[in-house]
Structure formats: structure tokens, C-alpha cells
Amino acid sequence: MNPWLWNRRRFLELCGAGAAQIAMAGTPHFEPKAKRLIYLFMEGGPSQLDLYDDKPKLREMDGQPFPMSMLKGKKFAFMENMAAPTVCGSAATFQKHGQSGNTVSSHLPHIASIADKISLVRTVQTGNVNHSPAMVMAHTGSMVPGRPSLGAWLLYGLGRSSQNLPDFVSMISGPRGPRNGTDIWGSGFLPSEYQGVPFMSGPKPIFDIASQPGVTPERQRRAIDAIVDLNKERMAVTGDNEIAARIASYEMAFRMQASAPELVDLSSESKETLEMYGATPGKASFANNCILARRLVERGVRVVQLYHTDWDHHTSIENGLKKVCPEVDKPSAALVRDLERRGLLRDTIVMWGGEFGRTPMSEGGKRGGMGRNHQIDAYTMWFAGGGLQPGRTIGETDEFGLAPATAPTPLHDIHATLLNQFGFDHSRLTYRFQGRDFRLTDTAGHVIEKLAG
């Protein structure tokens, strides 16, 4: 094919023009149940043993020596007193909720109120005890940075949806940004048009959304047209599709100057909705980000990731949970309810979890208050919407919560199940790079039938 013709077609696809837009709309392998994904990511490793996985044995043996025979071959990070670790019982109370009987602790009363709308998977496993590689694994299916993120794979398979906003957005709340940054919302070796766009916290989540004083829309349009023409000439010479992606980014930025101010203005939300989320317009918070997530998917955005970055409780875990849980509990539950009442939950997946969980052994007493270490062999995530089965508890752990008592759930199975809901056979959604076909699930992964239904 003539390089100019190919590049021109590629340019039209990226800019969403006419028949080319239709051609790149995506072709799932089978009828999809989900159209959108909202990933509520609790960075640092939320403690399943204090939130979702009740273990009376830990309370019974609290402070006693932990059975060392159970730790043989296990990996932990920064573990103090490994010669004689002690059992750490939870101070939380647990109850079964709703008709489903899903167990949620007293730390999360609002999530407990949607117990029948969510399904808990208690035996999730990952491969590395350290935050950075575990974060990359949770998002890309590999511990090695540089692979495409889950959101990028979905856009690659589905094609473009939103015309005036990015199709993949990441938002941040908490005391700092998430580890690994672009590695967890990047496109890796996929074309850069599929990477996520980070929004900042606070009243101005998008930088430079307004033109400089004296720059009219007409003047800016002329400038962009000139840049596009120059880029098209260069693209015709080089055949570099990254130039096409750059052209599309200019066009998107121009359109966002009209669409984004209305998007981020939460003052149009009703008082009842703001109270339901616990949100305050103009404030940097997880609650505000949850409302923005709903507003984004309403406007056609396919993937939204929300990061809350204060869950690494090596010490003083009870005090830490008392602070962080109220920040996410009410808005997480409100998001599910709000999506449902607007008819969006049926084809929007909401998932909640971190890069790993926490151990049943105590840690950190020397530095002030007991905490828990990183746990990679069995931790909990929950899921709602998008055709997934609601009100289920999938998998059980042993009496100490240290390992699966039923079949484990590797992260590749989570990814395979998500792709399944979007209409893709995970083994067939591939991209050839450096002579090899890559996929999100690498050479593993099985659909979780009890979750997918």
C-alpha cells in the first residue's frame, strides 16, 4: 500500500472522521456485556483481613507466636521479627450483609450496604511482594515495566468512543501520586493513542485548559491547522504513525477546551448527589473523583482509573484504617448506586482493590503500633456491574488468611475475565511486537466463570 494513502487513512481514523471513524470502532470476538470500566485502586495494599475476610482464629490467637511451619517458602517485604512473628487479630467487627451474606467489616459500612450488588474474590494472587512491580503487574499483567496497561488493551480492542474527551483517564487522590506513573496507564508498545491521560486533583484537574489571554478560538484553530499540515507532510515522508497520534492529540486538546470546563464543574450536581458521595466542589478528594468518573463514563469515556494512595499500613494499622476508610467508603458505594440509578451499571464494570493485601502476622511494633506486611498469596478484590454476577463470594482462604483454601485466582484470571465481559477472548487479543504476539494475559489466564456467569 502507498505509504501516503495508509498514513492519510490512519490520520482520519485518529481524528474521528467519517467512514474511517466507523472502521476503527472495534470488533469484539463476541457480544460484549460491558462498555466501560472504572478501576478504584487502593495503592499500598488494603488489608483484606480487616475489611472483607473475617478470621476468628486471628482474634483468638492475637499476640501469640505465629505457626512458623506455615511460613515456609513464603515471601514478605520489610518483615521485622521474622524469627518470631506474632498473630495479629483484627480490631474490626464483621457481619454478613444483604441477601447475599457477603462479609464486610465495620470499617466500610457504606460498601456493606451494597453487598448484594458486588462480588468478592478472596483468593487473588500476584507475583511480587514489592509495591512497584506489583503495581505494574496489576495494570499490565507483567512485573516488567513497558507493557501496555489494561486500559490501553481495551482501547486497542474496542476503538474510539468519546469525541471530545480522552477515552482513558486516570485520577489521583491521597497524599501523593501513585508509584510508576505512566507505566500503569501507558500504552507500552501499542500506539500512543491508547495511553491514559492523567487528571490532577483539585479544582483544576486539567492543565492549561483555557487559552492564554488574547488568543481567540479562531486564532488557535488556525495555529493548530498549520501544525497539522506540517505534521501531515512529515508523516507522508516517514510513515510514522506516532505523528498521526500527535496530530490527534492536538485536535483532542482543542475540543477539550470546550468540553472539559463543563465536565469538571461539579456545581451542576444536585445537593442530594453531592451528599451521597460526600463530595465538595473544588476540593481535592476521592469523592470528587468518583463523581468525575461517573460524569466521564456518561460522556462516552471507556476507562477511568482512580488512585487513592494511602494504604501501606506497616504500622498503626487500626489508626490508618480509621483515617483512610471513610475517605473511600462512602464515595465507592455511592458510585455503584449512582451508576445503577442512571442505567449505567449494567454495562459499566466497577472494580475495587490494590496491588496486594496484608499478612495475618503483625509487623512494625518497634516503630509505633502494630501493622501488617505485604501479602501476595491471597487477598480480596470486589467487582460490580458490566454483566458480572452480583452478590457472590468467590474463593476461601485458610483459617489464618495466609493462603487459598480453594483454587487461587491469579491476576491473569482477573484480566481474562474483564476482557471477556468486553467481548474478547483474552488469548486472541494480541499485538505483534519485536517478532512475537503479546497479550495482556501473557501465556496464562482463565475466565472466572462464577464471576462472569
Grouping H, G, I as helix, E, B as strand and the rest as coil, residue 234 is helix
Burial 67-100 (b: 16+ CB within 10 A, else e): eeeebeeeebbebbeeeebbbbbbbbebeebbeb
Q: Between 239 and 114, whose confidence is greater?
A: 114
pLDDT over threshold 50, residue 4: no
**Cell, residue 76:** 514478605
- Parallel, antiparallel, or unpaired for β 409-410 and 197-199? unpaired
Q: Are 151 and 305 in contact (CB under 8 A)?
A: yes
pLDDT over threshold 90, residue 122: yes
In tens, the pLDDT along 133-186 reads 999 999 999 999 999 999 999 999 998 777 788 999 999 887 677 888 889 999
Q: Are 416 and 396 in contact (CB under 8 A)?
A: no
Q: Can you tell me the mean pLDDT for 117-129?
A: 97
Rounded-to-10 torsion of CA 330, 390, 38, 288 = -10
CATH match of 35-208+280-452 with 3.40.720.10? yes
Strand locations in 379-418 (E): 379-384, 393-394, 409-410
Q: Which residues touch 292 (CB under 8 Å, ≥6 apart)?
A: 171, 199, 205, 263, 264, 266
Mean pLDDT of the chain: 87
pLDDT tier for residue 370 given thresholds of 50, 70 and 90:
confident
Q: Can you tell me the mean pLDDT for 114-119?
A: 98
Q: At what angle do helices 150-158 and 411-421 cross, to 10 degrees?
A: 30
Helix ranges (DSSP H) in 342-443:
411-421
Strand locations in 136-241 (E): 168-173, 197-199
Q: What is the pLDDT of residue 25?
A: 45
User: Which amino acid makes up residue 163?
Assistant: Q
Nearest one of 139, 188, 190 to 411, comparing CA atoms:
139
Q: What is the pLDDT of residue 417?
A: 98
pTM of the model: 0.88
* Spatial distance between the Cα atoms of 379 and 118, rounded to a whole number of angstroms: 16
pLDDT over threshold 60, residue 368: no
Q: Are 414 and 124 in contact (CB under 8 A)?
A: yes
pLDDT over threshold 50, residue 15: no
pLDDT over threshold 80, residue 103: yes
HEC profile of 73-132: CCCCCCCCCCCCCEECCCCCCEEEECCCCEEEECCCHHHHCCCCCEEEEEEEECCCCCHH
Q: What values do phi and psi take at 68, rounded to 5?
A: -65, -25
In tens, the pLDDT along 212-264 reads 677 677 777 777 778 777 877 787 888 777 777 676 666 666 566 666 677 88
Q: Are 189 and 438 in contact (CB under 8 A)?
A: yes
Nearest one of 409, 410, 314 to 358, comparing CA atoms:
314
Q: Between 226 and 360, whose confidence is greater?
A: 360
* Spatial distance between the Cα atoms of 294 and 339, rounded to a whole number of angstroms: 7
**Cell, residue 299:** 460522556
